[in-house]
């Protein structure tokens, strides 16, 4: 680390700031919701104040127990999880867990979910009094290990719009987290934007399942789950590319299989204004900081003086 920083002082600085809707973030790399806990869990490994933001695990209006064990299983190119959005509820998070992450100097993005439109309204309104360091609210309408395929809000433009509109009481910029498990993602992203989301987060995990061949039944306690990690990175790149092509004015936060700096660069070239690191942090809790360092190094090596110039550049070639 000392060698990398010493070398960096000998070359021009890269402007790492990026704009996501109305928000200016100090860096384009963030944590992904659901992979870094509800607070300062990664602070022992990463300077959270260097990141664009810490996106915390999705919260419901009320405490939620999640799915039965087992909840996580490693796959050949990632992992599948059926955690089921276990969480303490918004009020308990504000009181018990948010102060610790704020003490690190981090910028925070809260994330909310619900099973009904009213759940989103209540969770959002509970966040209205959060401190200013909570700069945005991710409206997670797409978690595949809680909602079945027929009930997920993100599978319909109309229900996506309903959830986003219900969350407006948070009093902050909203980002809608969407599912790749749809036939026309661009139309759903457009509906979220038209309903008030300043940005969309692309993508949540891919629907999957593991069968225990000895017991001859689904291995995870919740049945199916969400596949994440390197296996879904090309899916995320395609989703970001297609939505940016259809709605170039819509800011995108890209997520899915980002484990290296070049993965982050690829998503930005596809059209993302920022990226999130998720599953990689389970294998290496320093991953999000390393990805930021590697992305900065890539910019130096390629003569890029500001990361913002990369956004959507693959569409101009």
Count of C-beta atoms within a 10 Å radius of residue 144: 25
Cα separation, 122 vs 137, whole angstroms: 13
Q: Three-state SS across 90-117?
A: HHHHHHHHHHHHHCCCCCEEEEECCCCH
Strand stretches in 18-71, DSSP E: 18-20, 23-25, 29-31, 54-55
Cβ atoms < 10 Å from Cβ of 244: 26
* Exposure of 34 in the CB half-sphere (CA atoms within 13 A): 30
Q: Are residues 107 and 51 in contact, defined by beta-carbon separation less than 8 angstroms? A: yes
CA distance 219 to 211: 5
**Exposure of 194 by Cβ count < 10 A (0-12 exposed, 13-18 middle, 19+ buried)?**
middle
Q: What residues are annotated to the active site?
A: 143
Cα–Cα distances (Å) from 60 to 38, 40, 136, in that order, read 12, 19, 16
CA gap 294, 4 in Å, rounded: 10
Specify whether the CB–CB gap between 83 and 71 falls below 8 A: yes
């Amino acid at each position: 680390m000392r060698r990398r920083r010493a070398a960096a002082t000998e070359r021009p600085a890269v402007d790492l700031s990026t704009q996501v809707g109305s928000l200016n973030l100090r860096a384009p790399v963030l944590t992904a919701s659901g992979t870094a806990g509800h607070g300062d869990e990664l602070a022992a490994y990463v300077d959270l104040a260097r990141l664009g933001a810490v996106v915390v695990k999705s919260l419901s209006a009320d405490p939620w127990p999640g799915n039965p064990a087992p909840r996580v299983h490693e796959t050949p190119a990632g992992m599948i999880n059926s955690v089921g959005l276990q969480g303490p509820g918004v009020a308990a998070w504000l009181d018990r867990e948010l102060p610790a992450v704020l003490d690190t100097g981090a910028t925070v993005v809260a994330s909310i979910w619900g099973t009904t439109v009213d759940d989103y309204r209540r969770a959002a309104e509970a966040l209205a009094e959060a401190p200013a360091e909570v700069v945005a609210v991710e409206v997670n309408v797409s978690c595949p290990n809680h909602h079945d395929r027929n009930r997920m809000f993100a599978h319909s433009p109309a229900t996506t719009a309903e959830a986003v509109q219900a969350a407006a009481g948070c009093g902050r910029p909203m980002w809608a987290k969407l599912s790749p498990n749809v036939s026309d993602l661009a139309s759903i992203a457009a509906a979220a934007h038209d309903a008030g989301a300043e940005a969309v987060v692309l993508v949540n995990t891919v629907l999957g399942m593991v069968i225990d061949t000895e017991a001859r039944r689904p291995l995870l306690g919740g049945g199916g789950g969400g596949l994440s990690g390197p296996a879904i990175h090309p899916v995320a790149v395609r989703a970001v590319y297609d939505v940016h092509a259809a709605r170039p004015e819509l800011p995108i936060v890209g997520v899915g299989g980002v484990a290296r700096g070049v993965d982050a660069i690829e998503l930005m070239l596809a059209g993302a204004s920022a990226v999130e690191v998720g599953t990689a942090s389970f294998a290496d809790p320093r991953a999000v900081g390393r990805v930021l360092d590697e992305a900065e190094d890539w910019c130096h090596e390629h003569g890029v003086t500001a990361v913002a110039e990369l956004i959507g550049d693959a569409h101009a070639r």
